[in-house]
Amino acid sequence: MNQYNITLEIKAPVSYYRVHWSPFIRLSKERIRSTVPSEAGIFQVFLNKKGNLDLLGTHQAYYGGLRSIFLEIMDEDCQVSFPDKEKLRSEETYIRYALSSSKDVLRDILHHFTGSESSGRFEEILVEEKETMKVAR
C-alpha cells in the first residue's frame, strides 16, 4: 500500500477521513513520470508566489489516474479541459496527492475541500490532513 493515501474510520453517522499527502512535487513531465503513480486519487495544485505556495485548486483523478491527468495538463497538444492550464505550464507549479480507488471516498474528500456534492453516505464528514510540508527533490 502506498503511504500517500486516504484512510476512513466510520462512527455512524460520522466519517473520519485521514488524508496522508505526498510531498510537494514540481510540475514537470520528468518529475511526473518518475514520481507520480498511475492510480486514482485526489490532488491539489499550488503556484509559487514569491516563496509561498498558494492553493489554486483541489481536484480528483479517476480514469487514467494521477500521472495521466498531470501529463495531459503539461502536453500543449492535448485538448483536456482543466482550469488555468496555461498558467500551470508557464509558472512554477507544485502538486501533491493522496491515493484512493474509491469514487465515494474521492467525492467525500472533494466535498470537504470544495463544497461539491458528497457521496451522501454520511451525515458529517471530518477530515484530518497529514502532511510533511516537504518539497520532493
In this predicted structure, what is the pLDDT of residue 78? 63
Contact 18, 7 (CB under 8 A): yes
Q: Which has the higher per-residue pLDDT, 78 or 62?
A: 62
- Give the pLDDT score at 112: 96
Chain segment 87-131, per-residue pLDDT in tens: 776 788 899 999 999 999 999 999 999 999 999 999 999 999 998
Q: Residues 46, 49, 84, 96: what is their CA dihedral angle, to the nearest 10 degrees?
A: -10
Reference 62, options 115, 116, 9, 107; nearest CA is 107
Model confidence pLDDT, tens digit, residues 118-129: 999 999 999 999
Q: Which three cell numbers, joined as nine digits, stand for 72? A: 495531459
Degrees, nearest 5: CA angle 48-22-58: 60
Inter-CA distances, 60 with 14, 39, 52, 90, 96, Å: 22, 11, 23, 22, 12
Average model confidence (pLDDT) for the chain?
89
Residue corresponding to grid cell 477530515: 127
Task: Determine phi and psi for 120, rounding to 5 degrees.
Answer: 80, 5
Cis omega (within 30 of 0) for bond into 37:
no
Q: Using the predicted structure, report yes or no on whether residue 5 has a pLDDT greater than 90.
A: yes
Mean pLDDT, range 16-20, rounded to an integer: 98
pLDDT at position 50 over 80:
yes
In this structure, what are the phi and psi dihedrals at residue 97, rounded to the nearest 5 degrees?
-145, 165
Task: State if pTM tops 0.85.
Answer: yes
